[in-house]
Amino acid sequence: MKKIIISLLAFYITAGASAQLQTGEDVAVTNTDAGKVRGYVHNSIYTYKGIPYAEAKRFESPQKPKPWSGVRSSLTYGPVAPLMVPTTTVQDESEFVFHHDWGYTSEDCMRLNVWTPGINDGKKRPVLFWIHGGGFTAGSSQELPSYDGENLAKKGDVVVVSINHRLNILGYLDLSAYGDKYKQSANLSIVDMVAALEWVKANAGNFGGDPNNVTIFGQSGGGAKVNTLMATPSAKGLFHKAVNQSGAFRTTLLEKSDTQLVGVEVLKALNIEPGQIDNIQKVAYADLVAAGNKALKIVGDKLKAEGKNLGAFGGLSWGPSRDGEFLPYQFTDPQAVELSKNIPLLIGTVKNEFMASLFSGMSNASADKVNDFLKNRYKDKTDAYIAAVKKAFPNDTKPTDLMDIDMMFRPGAVTQAKAKSSAGGAPVYMYLFAWQSPVLGGKYKALHCMEIPFVFNNIARCEEMTGGGKEAHALADKMSQSWINFAKTGNPNANGLPKWEPYTAEKGATMFFDNTSTIRYHHDKELLEVVAQP
């Protein structure tokens, strides 16, 4: 009996120790190519935050960070890219749901974070490289609690990396006409990501990761950046699988002739002569943003008058462009398709995304008010639209369900999945996240970003968004395992889910993630056709 008691005590002491936070001068120390870093261990996961992967002067290409002596403390998140509009107020209810961590800003924001089950142990774990959302203008690696990589690293015995990089005007102002120093300025945000992937290639082994098995994954703007990296020649070989979550909304890149016009207008607004271009590095960030906004409006109006498509959001905004060198191809060019032909792709959206009822204040609208809304939007196609929605989602019962089906992100994802599968090469897998959040009476449904806590197995961290119930935990267990399996093998099939077939244009297999997950085939084909009609 005494031996049993001693064994039980030893077990609980060991279990308790493994769940504790471990810190200290000699705890979680490992090498990088710039110097040693020190993190901490939490729940047996080695955690590092704010490690520099590059540095750069404003509008100049990233360089390797200057080496440091000694051991660099890496316990807290690093600076985030400045926002075009600083956060000074928030909406109470939505802030409760999303629970942002806005961080602190600096133009010197090229930092990354690592979560890993082991360091210097000779293991070669898959690396999941997370790219945050926020379009091309906002966001950070710490913005949402769902981005925390501890649970995913522990569940899958994988290494999770997340990054900050330059955004908005700092990441996309085209000054290439003004000297070699600025030749990559139109795409610096993406150049930064390549620099971060190069850091992973050089350093993953020190963090227990395999640089030859890297999966890039991102949501919203992060998904669009995944697409961009897939068409970036200098990124080839730095990643081996890709996941695009609600990010297939930009199908074409602006051309250099257009982005250089923006650069011209920015200099005009700042009263900087081309011969004094370096003065732009000294301009206050707020003044730079104001000049950028003015330039985007001027050039956007010009392009619109010429009949050019400015994308899903209707106006000219910051983002990557075809500069002829770093990004030489449009996404649909054969050369771009060939670059990522052998990269397995997991792609999907959430059912409600930017749901109309929430953003129009109609969460509890009656059937009559919903019909009025739909008639205003779809005119003589309203009856066909309603019939197609009911066919695609026959179990929906709430009047607002008719107006909340996403048609902003889903069409682009389908188009991309069809093109990828038809090109041959590696498979593509399609999903739709249909699970409905119970928070605040269910008004947030499957909102944009709702799937992220499930992917990262972070339901408990994100109770404000998910409710934290048993059903959410059960689905997160399956979804996170799908992402882990995809990172390991290129195949997302996982226990507890129906057999997930690769997507083809003919069959259109789509995994519906819900309390009972199912596979459906071209479920919304008629709806997509109705919405696509002029």
User: Other CB atoms closer than 10 Å to residue 459's CB: what's the count?
Assistant: 25
Domain 348-532 has CATH 3.20.20.70: no
User: Other CB atoms closer than 10 Å to residue 148's CB: what's the count?
Assistant: 23
With beta carbons less than 8 A apart as the criterion, state whether 189 and 172 touch.
Answer: yes
Position 252 scores a pLDDT of 87
d(CA 444, CA 459): 16
Ranges of the chain whose pLDDT falls below 70: 1-19, 311-314
Position 308 scores a pLDDT of 81
With beta carbons less than 8 A apart as the criterion, state whether 321 and 250 touch.
Answer: no
Domain 22-168+181-245, CATH among 3.40.50.450, 3.40.50.300, 3.30.70.360, 3.40.50.1820: 3.40.50.1820
| Secondary structure element (H or E) that encloses residue 153, with its range | helix 150-156
With a CB cutoff of 8 Å and minimum separation 6, the contacts of 443 are 357, 358, 363, 364
Per-residue pLDDT of 351-372, as tens digits, reads 999 999 999 999 999 999 999 9
Q: Alpha helix (H) ranges present in 237-381?
A: 256-270, 285-305, 334-339, 356-359, 367-378
Q: What is the pTM of this model?
A: 0.94
In the chain, ranges of CATH 3.40.50.1820 domains: 22-168+181-245, 348-532
Per-residue pLDDT of 277-325, as tens digits, reads 999 999 999 999 999 999 999 999 999 898 887 765 568 999 999 999 9
With beta carbons less than 8 A apart as the criterion, state whether 254 and 319 touch.
Answer: yes
With beta carbons less than 8 A apart as the criterion, state whether 242 and 344 touch.
Answer: yes
Q: What is the DSSP letter of 105?
A: B
d(CA 110, CA 108): 6
Q: Which of 197, 160, 167 is nearest to 79 (CA)?
A: 167
Kindly list the catalytic residues: 220, 353, 448
